[in-house]
Amino acid sequence: MHTEYIVSLRLVDACHALELTSPQVLEIVAHGIVAPTGETPEDWLFDLQMISTAKRALRLQRDLQLEWSAVALVLELIEERDRLRDENITLRRRLQRFLHD
Amino acid sequence: MDFKDYYKTLDVATDADLKTIKTAYRRLARKYHPDVSTEHDAEKQFKEVSEAYEVLSDDKKRAEYDELRQYGRSGQSFEPPPGWQRSGRQENQSSGNADFSDFFENIFGGGRFHQNAGTGGQAFDGSEDFGSSRGRDIEVEWPLLLEETLSDESRSIEYHLPHYSETGRQPDIRKSLKVKIPAGVADGERIRIKGQGAPGFGNGPAGDLYLRVRLVPHPLFDVSGHDLTITVPVTPWEAALGTSITVPTLTGKISLKLAANSQSGQRLRIKERGLKTKTGHGDLFALLKVVMPPSTDNETRELWQTLASKAGFNPRKDWEV
Protein backbone atom coordinates (compact mmCIF):
# COMPACT_ATOMS: atom_id res chain seq x y z
CA MET A 1 0.00 0.00 0.00
CA HIS A 2 1.20 3.51 -0.76
CA THR A 3 2.14 5.47 2.33
CA GLU A 4 2.64 9.21 2.49
CA TYR A 5 4.94 10.52 5.21
CA ILE A 6 4.68 14.07 6.39
CA VAL A 7 7.66 15.66 8.06
CA SER A 8 6.62 19.26 8.70
CA LEU A 9 3.40 21.21 8.54
CA ARG A 10 2.46 24.79 7.76
CA LEU A 11 0.12 26.71 10.09
CA VAL A 12 -3.02 25.77 8.18
CA ASP A 13 -2.11 22.06 8.27
CA ALA A 14 -1.16 22.31 11.94
CA CYS A 15 -4.63 23.78 12.61
CA HIS A 16 -6.17 20.77 10.86
CA ALA A 17 -4.00 18.29 12.74
CA LEU A 18 -4.76 19.93 16.07
CA GLU A 19 -8.39 20.68 15.27
CA LEU A 20 -7.84 24.29 16.32
CA THR A 21 -8.29 27.70 14.80
CA SER A 22 -5.27 29.86 13.88
CA PRO A 23 -5.67 32.21 16.90
CA GLN A 24 -5.66 29.19 19.22
CA VAL A 25 -2.45 27.85 17.66
CA LEU A 26 -0.94 31.35 17.86
CA GLU A 27 -1.71 31.37 21.59
CA ILE A 28 0.07 28.06 22.10
CA VAL A 29 3.09 29.42 20.24
CA ALA A 30 2.93 32.69 22.21
CA HIS A 31 3.24 30.70 25.44
CA GLY A 32 6.37 29.02 24.12
CA ILE A 33 4.77 25.56 24.25
CA VAL A 34 5.98 24.91 20.72
CA ALA A 35 8.42 26.99 18.70
CA PRO A 36 7.88 26.56 14.95
CA THR A 37 10.71 27.51 12.64
CA GLY A 38 10.21 30.56 10.40
CA GLU A 39 9.84 34.27 11.08
CA THR A 40 6.15 34.96 10.50
CA PRO A 41 3.07 32.74 10.94
CA GLU A 42 2.91 32.44 7.11
CA ASP A 43 6.41 30.91 7.11
CA TRP A 44 6.03 28.77 10.23
CA LEU A 45 6.83 25.09 9.97
CA PHE A 46 5.79 22.64 12.68
CA ASP A 47 7.52 19.28 12.98
CA LEU A 48 5.69 16.21 14.24
CA GLN A 49 7.17 16.47 17.71
CA MET A 50 5.66 19.96 17.98
CA ILE A 51 2.26 18.68 16.85
CA SER A 52 2.48 15.93 19.43
CA THR A 53 3.51 18.40 22.16
CA ALA A 54 0.69 20.75 21.19
CA LYS A 55 -1.81 17.87 21.35
CA ARG A 56 -0.53 16.95 24.77
CA ALA A 57 -0.84 20.59 25.82
CA LEU A 58 -4.43 20.70 24.60
CA ARG A 59 -5.35 17.57 26.52
CA LEU A 60 -3.80 18.94 29.71
CA GLN A 61 -5.44 22.33 29.29
CA ARG A 62 -8.84 20.81 28.68
CA ASP A 63 -8.82 17.83 31.05
CA LEU A 64 -7.09 19.49 34.00
CA GLN A 65 -8.64 22.91 33.33
CA LEU A 66 -5.25 24.66 33.38
CA GLU A 67 -4.07 28.08 32.26
CA TRP A 68 -1.72 28.02 29.27
CA SER A 69 1.21 29.22 31.38
CA ALA A 70 0.60 26.30 33.77
CA VAL A 71 0.40 23.92 30.81
CA ALA A 72 3.80 25.19 29.59
CA LEU A 73 5.30 24.57 33.04
CA VAL A 74 3.73 21.11 33.36
CA LEU A 75 5.06 20.15 29.92
CA GLU A 76 8.57 21.28 30.82
CA LEU A 77 8.47 19.28 34.03
CA ILE A 78 7.06 16.20 32.30
CA GLU A 79 9.76 16.45 29.63
CA GLU A 80 12.45 16.70 32.30
CA ARG A 81 10.94 13.77 34.22
CA ASP A 82 10.79 11.61 31.07
CA ARG A 83 14.37 12.50 30.15
CA LEU A 84 15.61 11.61 33.62
CA ARG A 85 13.59 8.40 33.64
CA ASP A 86 15.02 7.33 30.26
CA GLU A 87 18.52 8.19 31.42
CA ASN A 88 17.97 6.23 34.62
CA ILE A 89 16.75 3.18 32.69
CA THR A 90 19.78 3.35 30.37
CA LEU A 91 22.27 3.74 33.24
CA ARG A 92 20.66 0.95 35.27
CA ARG A 93 20.79 -1.37 32.27
CA ARG A 94 24.43 -0.48 31.67
CA LEU A 95 25.29 -0.99 35.35
CA GLN A 96 23.50 -4.32 35.33
CA ARG A 97 25.56 -5.48 32.35
CA PHE A 98 28.72 -4.26 34.04
CA LEU A 99 28.05 -5.91 37.39
CA HIS A 100 26.27 -9.13 36.55
CA ASP A 101 26.52 -10.25 32.93
CA MET B 1 -23.39 -3.95 28.98
CA ASP B 2 -22.14 -3.40 32.52
CA PHE B 3 -23.65 -0.82 34.80
CA LYS B 4 -21.34 2.07 35.77
CA ASP B 5 -21.49 3.55 39.24
CA TYR B 6 -20.29 7.06 38.46
CA TYR B 7 -20.57 8.23 42.07
CA LYS B 8 -18.26 5.42 43.16
CA THR B 9 -15.82 6.24 40.33
CA LEU B 10 -15.51 9.84 41.54
CA ASP B 11 -15.74 8.74 45.19
CA VAL B 12 -18.50 11.22 45.98
CA ALA B 13 -21.85 10.88 47.76
CA THR B 14 -24.96 10.48 45.63
CA ASP B 15 -26.17 13.89 46.82
CA ALA B 16 -22.82 15.64 46.21
CA ASP B 17 -23.11 19.17 44.82
CA LEU B 18 -21.44 20.29 41.59
CA LYS B 19 -18.51 21.90 43.42
CA THR B 20 -17.70 18.62 45.21
CA ILE B 21 -17.97 16.71 41.94
CA LYS B 22 -15.65 19.19 40.20
CA THR B 23 -13.08 18.95 42.99
CA ALA B 24 -13.20 15.14 42.93
CA TYR B 25 -12.79 15.13 39.16
CA ARG B 26 -9.83 17.54 39.25
CA ARG B 27 -8.08 15.46 41.91
CA LEU B 28 -8.55 12.18 40.03
CA ALA B 29 -7.80 13.74 36.63
CA ARG B 30 -4.42 14.96 37.92
CA LYS B 31 -3.74 11.51 39.34
CA TYR B 32 -4.70 9.50 36.26
CA HIS B 33 -4.17 11.85 33.31
CA PRO B 34 -2.28 9.71 30.76
CA ASP B 35 0.03 12.62 29.92
CA VAL B 36 1.11 12.98 33.53
CA SER B 37 0.52 9.72 35.37
CA THR B 38 2.99 6.87 35.52
CA GLU B 39 0.37 4.38 36.75
CA HIS B 40 0.12 1.41 34.42
CA ASP B 41 -3.65 1.64 33.87
CA ALA B 42 -3.81 5.45 33.91
CA GLU B 43 -5.53 5.74 30.55
CA LYS B 44 -8.31 3.34 31.50
CA GLN B 45 -8.79 5.00 34.86
CA PHE B 46 -8.83 8.45 33.30
CA LYS B 47 -11.51 7.40 30.81
CA GLU B 48 -13.66 6.13 33.66
CA VAL B 49 -13.20 9.37 35.60
CA SER B 50 -13.91 11.54 32.51
CA GLU B 51 -17.03 9.56 31.71
CA ALA B 52 -18.31 9.86 35.27
CA TYR B 53 -17.65 13.62 35.25
CA GLU B 54 -19.30 14.02 31.87
CA VAL B 55 -22.50 12.64 33.33
CA LEU B 56 -22.47 13.96 36.89
CA SER B 57 -21.47 17.52 35.95
CA ASP B 58 -24.44 17.89 33.63
CA ASP B 59 -27.82 18.33 35.35
CA LYS B 60 -29.82 16.69 32.58
CA LYS B 61 -27.56 13.67 32.22
CA ARG B 62 -27.23 13.30 35.97
CA ALA B 63 -31.02 13.30 36.42
CA GLU B 64 -31.38 10.65 33.74
CA TYR B 65 -28.59 8.59 35.26
CA ASP B 66 -30.07 8.87 38.77
CA GLU B 67 -33.35 7.58 37.43
CA LEU B 68 -31.68 4.53 35.91
CA ARG B 69 -29.35 3.97 38.82
CA GLN B 70 -32.01 2.31 40.93
CA TYR B 71 -32.10 -0.56 38.41
CA GLY B 72 -28.35 -1.21 38.23
CA ARG B 73 -25.47 -2.46 40.37
CA SER B 74 -21.83 -1.53 39.79
CA GLY B 75 -20.00 -3.92 37.48
CA GLN B 76 -23.09 -6.05 36.87
CA SER B 77 -24.86 -6.56 33.60
CA PHE B 78 -27.43 -3.86 32.99
CA GLU B 79 -30.46 -3.46 30.79
CA PRO B 80 -32.63 -0.35 30.97
CA PRO B 81 -36.07 -1.08 32.47
CA PRO B 82 -38.91 -1.94 30.08
CA GLY B 83 -40.47 1.12 28.60
CA TRP B 84 -37.45 3.34 29.23
CA GLN B 85 -36.49 5.58 26.35
CA ARG B 86 -33.37 7.63 26.15
CA SER B 87 -33.94 11.31 25.87
CA GLY B 88 -32.10 11.55 22.58
CA ARG B 89 -28.65 12.68 21.61
CA GLN B 90 -27.25 15.09 24.13
CA GLU B 91 -24.59 17.74 24.00
CA ASN B 92 -21.44 16.25 25.43
CA GLN B 93 -19.21 18.77 27.15
CA SER B 94 -15.87 17.07 27.15
CA SER B 95 -14.16 16.93 23.80
CA GLY B 96 -11.68 14.48 25.26
CA ASN B 97 -10.20 11.59 23.40
CA ALA B 98 -11.81 9.18 25.80
CA ASP B 99 -13.82 6.42 24.23
CA PHE B 100 -16.65 6.14 26.64
CA SER B 101 -18.16 2.83 27.71
CA ASP B 102 -21.01 0.94 26.06
CA PHE B 103 -23.10 1.95 29.05
CA PHE B 104 -22.53 5.65 28.29
CA GLU B 105 -23.07 5.20 24.57
CA ASN B 106 -26.35 3.37 25.13
CA ILE B 107 -27.75 5.75 27.70
CA PHE B 108 -26.53 9.08 26.33
CA GLY B 109 -26.39 7.99 22.73
CA GLY B 110 -24.06 8.79 19.88
CA GLY B 111 -21.77 10.82 22.07
CA ARG B 112 -18.56 10.31 20.17
CA PHE B 113 -20.05 11.04 16.82
CA HIS B 114 -21.48 14.24 18.14
CA GLN B 115 -18.23 15.28 19.76
CA ASN B 116 -16.23 14.66 16.65
CA ALA B 117 -18.63 16.56 14.50
CA GLY B 118 -18.51 19.50 16.89
CA THR B 119 -14.77 19.77 17.22
CA GLY B 120 -14.26 19.03 13.55
CA GLY B 121 -16.51 21.90 12.53
CA GLN B 122 -14.61 24.25 14.79
CA ALA B 123 -11.23 23.08 13.66
CA PHE B 124 -11.67 23.63 10.01
CA ASP B 125 -12.84 26.58 8.04
CA GLY B 126 -16.43 26.34 9.13
CA SER B 127 -17.65 25.19 5.74
CA GLU B 128 -18.31 21.67 6.95
CA ASP B 129 -21.84 20.88 7.92
CA PHE B 130 -22.82 18.96 11.00
CA GLY B 131 -23.12 15.68 9.06
CA SER B 132 -19.49 15.67 7.89
CA SER B 133 -16.47 15.56 10.08
CA ARG B 134 -12.84 14.57 9.82
CA GLY B 135 -11.94 11.21 11.34
CA ARG B 136 -9.82 11.09 14.45
CA ASP B 137 -6.06 10.92 14.35
CA ILE B 138 -4.82 7.65 15.78
CA GLU B 139 -1.56 7.17 17.62
CA VAL B 140 -0.08 3.68 17.70
CA GLU B 141 3.08 2.52 19.37
CA TRP B 142 5.47 0.95 16.86
CA PRO B 143 8.03 -1.38 18.44
CA LEU B 144 11.11 -1.81 16.24
CA LEU B 145 14.11 -4.09 16.66
CA LEU B 146 17.43 -2.29 16.27
CA GLU B 147 18.24 -4.54 13.31
CA GLU B 148 15.01 -3.48 11.60
CA THR B 149 15.99 0.20 11.70
CA LEU B 150 18.94 -0.64 9.44
CA SER B 151 16.78 -2.45 6.92
CA ASP B 152 15.33 -0.87 3.78
CA GLU B 153 12.40 -3.29 3.76
CA SER B 154 8.85 -2.28 4.59
CA ARG B 155 7.26 -3.65 7.71
CA SER B 156 3.63 -4.59 8.29
CA ILE B 157 1.78 -3.08 11.19
CA GLU B 158 -1.69 -3.91 12.43
CA TYR B 159 -3.88 -1.58 14.40
CA HIS B 160 -7.51 -0.98 15.30
CA LEU B 161 -9.60 2.01 14.39
CA PRO B 162 -12.65 3.09 16.35
CA HIS B 163 -15.70 3.28 14.15
CA TYR B 164 -18.83 5.34 14.70
CA SER B 165 -22.01 5.69 12.77
CA GLU B 166 -25.18 7.67 13.33
CA THR B 167 -26.37 5.01 15.74
CA GLY B 168 -23.26 5.14 17.90
CA ARG B 169 -20.12 3.10 18.24
CA GLN B 170 -19.56 0.15 15.93
CA PRO B 171 -17.01 -2.68 16.25
CA ASP B 172 -13.42 -1.52 15.67
CA ILE B 173 -11.97 -1.75 12.16
CA ARG B 174 -8.82 -3.86 11.98
CA LYS B 175 -6.26 -2.39 9.61
CA SER B 176 -3.01 -3.61 8.23
CA LEU B 177 -0.45 -1.36 6.59
CA LYS B 178 3.00 -1.76 5.11
CA VAL B 179 5.30 0.99 6.26
CA LYS B 180 8.86 1.69 5.20
CA ILE B 181 11.03 2.44 8.21
CA PRO B 182 12.41 5.96 7.62
CA ALA B 183 16.23 6.21 7.73
CA GLY B 184 17.56 7.58 10.99
CA VAL B 185 14.44 6.89 13.00
CA ALA B 186 14.97 7.41 16.74
CA ASP B 187 13.30 6.15 19.89
CA GLY B 188 10.18 8.19 20.69
CA GLU B 189 10.00 9.71 17.21
CA ARG B 190 6.62 10.05 15.57
CA ILE B 191 5.81 9.24 11.98
CA ARG B 192 2.63 10.67 10.49
CA ILE B 193 0.88 8.80 7.72
CA LYS B 194 -1.81 10.83 6.05
CA GLY B 195 -5.35 9.50 5.83
CA GLN B 196 -4.73 6.23 7.63
CA GLY B 197 -6.46 7.21 10.88
CA ALA B 198 -10.13 6.77 11.76
CA PRO B 199 -12.57 7.16 8.87
CA GLY B 200 -14.36 10.47 8.55
CA PHE B 201 -18.07 10.83 8.95
CA GLY B 202 -20.21 11.73 5.97
CA ASN B 203 -17.96 13.41 3.43
CA GLY B 204 -15.27 14.15 6.00
CA PRO B 205 -11.74 12.93 5.29
CA ALA B 206 -10.06 10.20 7.33
CA GLY B 207 -7.77 11.23 10.18
CA ASP B 208 -4.04 10.55 10.16
CA LEU B 209 -2.07 7.73 11.69
CA TYR B 210 0.78 8.60 14.03
CA LEU B 211 3.30 5.86 14.69
CA ARG B 212 5.33 6.38 17.84
CA VAL B 213 8.62 4.53 17.48
CA ARG B 214 9.76 2.41 20.43
CA LEU B 215 13.12 0.74 20.04
CA VAL B 216 12.95 -2.70 21.64
CA PRO B 217 15.76 -3.21 24.21
CA HIS B 218 18.51 -5.35 22.69
CA PRO B 219 20.24 -8.18 24.58
CA LEU B 220 23.70 -6.80 23.66
CA PHE B 221 23.45 -3.16 22.66
CA ASP B 222 22.32 -0.09 24.60
CA VAL B 223 21.09 2.91 22.62
CA SER B 224 21.93 6.55 23.16
CA GLY B 225 20.59 8.70 20.33
CA HIS B 226 22.04 7.00 17.26
CA ASP B 227 25.06 5.59 19.10
CA LEU B 228 25.25 2.08 20.49
CA THR B 229 27.22 0.73 23.43
CA ILE B 230 28.27 -2.88 23.89
CA THR B 231 29.82 -4.08 27.14
CA VAL B 232 32.85 -6.21 26.24
CA PRO B 233 34.21 -8.61 28.88
CA VAL B 234 38.02 -9.03 28.74
CA THR B 235 40.48 -11.01 30.86
CA PRO B 236 43.00 -9.18 33.09
CA TRP B 237 45.86 -10.34 30.87
CA GLU B 238 44.09 -9.17 27.70
CA ALA B 239 43.68 -5.76 29.32
CA ALA B 240 47.32 -5.75 30.46
CA LEU B 241 48.99 -7.05 27.32
CA GLY B 242 46.62 -5.86 24.63
CA THR B 243 45.10 -8.11 22.02
CA SER B 244 42.70 -8.32 19.15
CA ILE B 245 39.17 -9.44 20.00
CA THR B 246 36.06 -10.20 17.96
CA VAL B 247 33.11 -7.97 18.77
CA PRO B 248 29.54 -8.35 17.43
CA THR B 249 27.89 -5.38 15.74
CA LEU B 250 24.36 -5.08 14.37
CA THR B 251 25.64 -5.98 10.92
CA GLY B 252 28.17 -8.73 11.70
CA LYS B 253 31.35 -9.29 13.66
CA ILE B 254 34.40 -7.05 13.57
CA SER B 255 37.91 -7.28 14.96
CA LEU B 256 38.75 -4.76 17.69
CA LYS B 257 42.31 -3.96 18.68
CA LEU B 258 42.81 -3.61 22.41
CA ALA B 259 45.84 -1.55 23.45
CA ALA B 260 48.14 -2.73 26.25
CA ASN B 261 47.20 -1.41 29.72
CA SER B 262 43.53 -0.96 28.88
CA GLN B 263 41.28 -0.14 31.83
CA SER B 264 37.96 -1.55 32.96
CA GLY B 265 35.27 1.03 32.08
CA GLN B 266 37.28 2.40 29.15
CA ARG B 267 35.22 3.17 26.05
CA LEU B 268 36.56 2.44 22.58
CA ARG B 269 34.86 4.15 19.66
CA ILE B 270 34.11 2.14 16.54
CA LYS B 271 33.12 4.65 13.91
CA GLU B 272 29.85 4.37 11.99
CA ARG B 273 28.74 1.03 13.41
CA GLY B 274 25.79 2.52 15.27
CA LEU B 275 22.23 3.16 14.10
CA LYS B 276 21.39 4.92 10.86
CA THR B 277 21.07 8.70 11.03
CA LYS B 278 19.36 10.83 8.38
CA THR B 279 22.70 11.25 6.64
CA GLY B 280 24.96 8.39 7.78
CA HIS B 281 25.51 6.23 10.84
CA GLY B 282 26.10 6.75 14.56
CA ASP B 283 29.04 5.11 16.32
CA LEU B 284 29.42 1.93 18.33
CA PHE B 285 31.20 2.16 21.67
CA ALA B 286 32.89 -0.87 23.22
CA LEU B 287 32.84 -0.54 27.00
CA LEU B 288 35.59 -2.71 28.49
CA LYS B 289 34.81 -4.78 31.54
CA VAL B 290 37.74 -6.69 33.08
CA VAL B 291 36.50 -10.03 34.37
CA MET B 292 38.37 -12.26 36.80
CA PRO B 293 38.31 -16.01 36.13
CA PRO B 294 35.76 -17.70 38.41
CA SER B 295 38.35 -19.97 40.12
CA THR B 296 42.09 -20.46 40.05
CA ASP B 297 44.18 -23.62 40.33
CA ASN B 298 47.44 -23.79 42.29
CA GLU B 299 49.63 -23.05 39.30
CA THR B 300 47.65 -19.94 38.37
CA ARG B 301 47.67 -18.76 41.99
CA GLU B 302 51.48 -18.97 42.02
CA LEU B 303 51.63 -16.88 38.87
CA TRP B 304 49.39 -14.24 40.46
CA GLN B 305 51.62 -14.28 43.56
CA THR B 306 54.69 -13.68 41.41
CA LEU B 307 52.89 -10.80 39.73
CA ALA B 308 51.81 -9.39 43.11
CA SER B 309 55.36 -9.36 44.42
CA LYS B 310 56.79 -7.77 41.27
CA ALA B 311 54.14 -5.36 40.06
CA GLY B 312 54.36 -2.85 42.89
CA PHE B 313 50.98 -1.40 42.04
CA ASN B 314 48.63 -0.05 44.72
CA PRO B 315 45.33 1.43 43.44
CA ARG B 316 44.56 2.71 47.00
CA LYS B 317 47.74 4.70 47.34
CA ASP B 318 45.86 8.00 47.70
CA TRP B 319 44.16 6.75 50.87
CA GLU B 320 47.45 6.28 52.65
CA VAL B 321 48.22 10.01 52.95
pLDDT along chain B (321 residues), means of 10: 90 95 94 89 92 94 89 73 64 55 77 37 36 81 94 89 74 89 89 89 86 94 94 96 97 96 96 94 97 90 93 90 73
CA distance A18 to A52: 9
Q: Does B186 touch chain A (CB under 8 A)?
A: no
pLDDT of residue B91: 53
- In chain A, residues with a C-beta closer than 8 Å to the C-beta of B287 are 94, 98
For residue B97, give Cα distances in angstroms to A93, B50, B173, B214, B286. 35, 10, 18, 22, 45
Return the residue in A63, A79, A92 with the most chain B beta carbons within 10 A, the one to mutate for interface testing: A63
- What number is the average pLDDT over the span A89-99? 90
Tell me if B177 and A74 make a contact (CB, 8 A cut-off). no
Rounded-to-integer distance, Cα B134 and Cα B119, Å: 9
Q: Tell me which H or E stretch contains B270.
A: strand B267-270
A28 in the Ramachandran plot: left (φ > 0), alpha (ψ -120 to 50) or beta? alpha
Question: A46 to chain B nearest CA, in Å?
Answer: 13
- Phi and psi at A7, nearest 5°, equal -100, -45
Residue B158 has a pLDDT of: 92
Integer-rounded Cα Rg, in Å, for chain A is: 18
Which tens digit of pLDDT belongs to each residue from A33-62? Answer: 999 999 899 999 999 889 989 989 999 999
> Which residue in chain B is spatially nearest to A87 when comparing CA positions?
B224
Q: Is B27 on the interface with A (CB under 8 A)?
A: no
> Are B190 and A48 inside 8 Å of each other by CB?
yes
Question: Which distant-in-sequence residues (6+ apart) come within 8 Å of B301 by Cβ?
Answer: none
φ, ψ (nearest 5 deg) of residue A76: -60, -45
* Pairs of residues, one from chain A and one from chain B, whose beta carbons lie less than 8 Å apart: 93
CA distance B316 to chain A (A): 21
Nearest to B199 by CA among B165, B228, B176: B165
A1/B222 touch (CB, cutoff 8 Å), yes or no? no
CB contact under 8 A, B287 and A20: no
Q: How far apart are CA B206 and CA B296, in angstroms?
A: 69
Q: List chain A residues with CB under 8 Å of B190.
A: 48-49, 51-52
In angstroms, rounded to a whole number, what is the distance separating the alpha carbons of residues B228 and A97?
Answer: 14
Distance separating alpha carbons of residues B137 and B35, to the nearest angstrom? 17
Say if the Cβ atoms of A74 and B50 lie within 8 Å. Answer: no
Interface-testing mutation among A3, A51, A64, with chain B (most B C-beta atoms within 10 A): A3
Give the DSSP per-residue string, A61-77. HHHTT--HHHHHHHHHH
Taking an 8 Å Cβ-Cβ cutoff, which residues of chain A contact chain B? 1, 3-6, 15-21, 48-49, 51-52, 56, 59-60, 62-65, 74, 78, 90, 93-94, 97-98, 101
| Best CA proximity match to A95, nearest among B289, B314, B160 | B289
What's the rounded Cα separation, in Å, for the pair B161 and B174?
Answer: 6
Taking the CA atoms of B221, B224, B226 and B229 in sequence, report the sign of the dihedral they define: negative
Q: Which residues from B are below 8 Å from A94, CB to CB?
A: 222, 229, 231, 287
pLDDT of res. A68: 93
Interchain contact B92–A (C-beta under 8 A): no
Q: How far is A8 from chain B (nearest CA, A)?
A: 10
Q: What is the pLDDT of residue B93?
A: 54
